[in-house]
Structures are given as structure tokens and as C-alpha cells.
Amino acid sequence: MLSSVKKTSPGVDDIPYWVFKHCAVELTPVVTYLINTIVSNGTPPPTWLKALVTHVPKKTPPTYFSHLRPISVTPILSRLTESLIVRKHLLPAILSDQLTDQFAYRPSGSITAALIATTHHTSCLLESCS
């Protein structure tokens, strides 16, 4: 995972992506130990709980705060650890048919599609209770 880190913004720890990418062989044992310790203790470092928040305009020029979209950037190691835990532990524990309600990052994934699916699911539940 370290050697495949793409160019990305560092978090509050200010460690650039290239440190992980170019020093992956040397850092892997240290990062593995760190992640295993964090997972076994259940307590991430305080730095991992902080994020740099940047406001990106949804509309140019923004005239109201609602025209800004907050982007939170956590430290790279925090993101890698989260990705690892999701891929190795959470996704295998969830049945694939339970992930059909995901609407983000899909061509048909809009708020409208999510509301229609929720309304349909609620209607079916109400019909089955009568």
C-alpha cells in the first residue's frame, strides 16, 4: 500500500506522499507495527483525529457560506489505515447484497435516486406490515 500511494495532500502531520511512496521498503515494518499496535489498542494517535479543512467553492464566486464545500484532509497514514481496515475487515463482513444502497460515485447515484429508493423501500415495508 505504501508504494502505491498517489500524489495527495498531507494532513496535519505534514508528511508528504513521496516519503511513503519512495521509502516504502524501509517504512513497511515500522508502519505495520504502528498499525497493528493502533488496531490492538483501539486508540489512534491524536494527530490522526485532526483534519485540515479547506473550503472549495461549489459556485464561483461564492456569495454565501452554503456555496462552499468543506474538504477534510486527514494524515496519509490515517487514510491508509482506514482503507486497510475497511478492505480487510469490514467489507468481508458485509454481504454484497447489503451494499446495493450506495448512491455516491455512480452514474445513477443522485439524491433523487436515493430518495426514490428510500420511498420505495419504506412503502414495501409498510405494505408488508398490514
pTM metric for this prediction: 0.68
Query: Which of 6, 24, 14, 29 minimizes the C-alpha distance to 83?
Result: 6
pLDDT of residue 75: 95
Torsion angle, CA of 28/29/31/35, rounded to 10 degrees?
A: 130
Identify any residues that bridge with 73 across adjacent strands, giving them in sequence order: 52
Query: pLDDT tens across 50-61, in order?
Result: 999 988 898 888
In the chain, % of residues over pLDDT 70 = 87
Pick the range with the lowest mean pLDDT from 10-14, 100-104, 117-121: 100-104
**Residue 82: CB atoms within 10 Å:** 14
The residue with greater pLDDT, 98 or 42, is 42
The residue with greater pLDDT, 25 or 106, is 25
